[in-house]
Structure 1
C-alpha cells in the first residue's frame, strides 16, 4: 500500500482503491486536490497500464463534503480562491474521465456539492444505505454551479425532476431514493468496509471483462462529449503544477 497524508492507494486483485483517509469531511482544497490527482496519476502509471479498474472511497462519516470554503474565505480574495478550486476540480474530473479503466465510486458517507459531483463523475456509483446523502448544497450555500458541474449533473442524473430536486431544491437524497431515481447503481447495507467491498466486487467484475483501457476512456469521452469538451484542457498537467 502506498500512502500519503490525505490518500491511500492500494491494489486488491485487479482493482486499484484510492481511499480518502481520516475522520474529517474530506473537503476539496489545495492539498486534497493534489493528493487525489497524484493518486489517479499513480494508478494510471501502474504496471499493466489500463488493466484493471478503479474504486474511489473514503474513511469516516463523509465521502466528500465539497469545496474547502473555509480555505477560500481565509484569503484576501475569496472569489479568486473559489475560482481556483473550480479550475482544480475541472482538472480532476478530466483526469477521471480520461482514466483508461472502468471507475466506481464507493459513496461511504455524505457526498455534498462538488463531492456529490465527484461521485457522479465515475462510471458506476455504489452508496451506503444506512448513512449518508447525495446533496448538491450550492443552492443553500448561495454558490453558483460551474458550467461543467451543471453538464455533469445533466448527463448523470437521467430524470429531469430528479435533477430539479437535487440542484434547485437542495434535496438530500438517501441511497434508497437515489437508487430508485436512477442516480446511483446500488444501495449497500452495512458499514464503510461493506460498501467498499461491494464496490471492489463491481470493479473486479468490470476488470475481468478484459476491455482495452484506452478504448474505455475514448468511449467515455464520446458518450459525454459536451462534458469532456468543458474539462479536457485542464486535465493531464502534473498535479504539483496544478496546486492552488
Structure 2
C-alpha cells in the first residue's frame, strides 16, 4: 500500500504499486500508520527537525476515492469519506513541512490529498489535476473538499477551470495557474527537487509544534471543515453512480 523511508532528516512516503492508488480504507490505514510513525518519532525527539515528502509509483498519484469498494452503498461511502477526511486532517496537522511530489494523475480526492501539503511539485511528462464533479453529475457536498480548494487556490478563475470546466490541468499549466509550486521534466527530478527543498527546510531548525500551529492559523477554515462529520444529507448528491463507469471518482 505504501512505504516509508528516512533519508537523513527527510521522510519519504511512497504510495506503492502500479495501480491507481485509490483511497479505500485499507490504503488509508496504511498511510495513516506511516504518518503515525512520523508524528511519533518527531514528537519523541522535538529538537530534531524533519520534513515529509509524499509521492507514488507509476502513472497515478491518486485517482481519488475507491468507487468500486463502495459498491454504491451509502454506509460504506460515508465510512470511506470519513477515513479520507481523517487522513487529510493528519496531513494538515503534521508538525513538520510537507511536500507533495506528484508523480502522475491526481483526481478529486487525489487533488485534495496534494493540496493538504505545504508545497506541491509535479512532473511534466505524465499526469494532470482533474476534478470531475460536472463530468459525472455530482456535487462536492463535503465541506472539506470546498474549503481546501478555496483556501489553497486563490483565484476564482482557477476554481472555474478546475471545478466548473472540469479541466484536466497538466503540470506546466498548474504552475501558471498558481495551483502548484514547481514542475519538473521527470518523476525522478520531481522527487529529487522535493528532497532538496525538504533538506533546506530542515536546516531552518524550526520547532515542529510551532510549525503545525502556524499552519492551523493560516488555514482555520480547512481545519474547521475537516471537523465536520459525514451525514446522510451529504450523500444525497455525492455518490450513487454506476460502478461500471470508470471515470467516476471522488
Common fold, TM-score beyond 0.5? yes
1:45 partner SS: helix
Q: State yes or no: 1:30 paired with 2:17.
A: no
Out of 69, 84, 87, the position equivalent to 1:71 is 69
Once the 2 structures are TM-superposed, how far is the Cα of residue 91 of structure 1 from its aligned partner? 0.7
The 2-side partners of 1:123 and 1:108 are apart by 17
1:199 to 194, 198, 202: 194
Q: How does 1:98-109 map to 2 (within 5 A)?
A: 98-109=93-104
Instruction: Give the match for residue 57 of structure 2.
Output: 59
Q: What is the CA-CA distance between 1:233 and the residue it aligns to?
A: 7.4
Residues 100-179 of structure 1: pairs in structure 2 closer than 5 A = 100-145=95-140, 146-179=142-175
The answer on 1:96 being equivalent to 2:91 is yes
1:68: how far off? Answer: 0.3
In 1, Cα distance between the equivalents of 2:33 and 2:164? 33
Tell me the residue number matched to 1:238: none
Contact 2:143 2:228 in 1 (8 A): no
Provide structure 2 residue ranges, at least 5 long, that are not aligned to the other structure: 230-250
The count of aligned residue pairs is 225
1: distance between equivalents of 2:114 and 2:81? 16
Match of 1:186 in 2: 182
Q: Is the 8 A contact 2:151 2:221 kept in 1?
A: no
Q: How does 1:199-238 map to 2 (within 5 A)?
A: 199-232=194-227
Gaps of 5+ in 1: 1-5, 235-244
Note if 1:40 corresponds to 2:35: yes
Render the CA deviation track for 1:110-166: whole Å, top value 9, x for unaligned.
000100110011000000011100111222233332111100000111111101110
After TM superposition, the score normalised by the length of structure 1 is 0.88
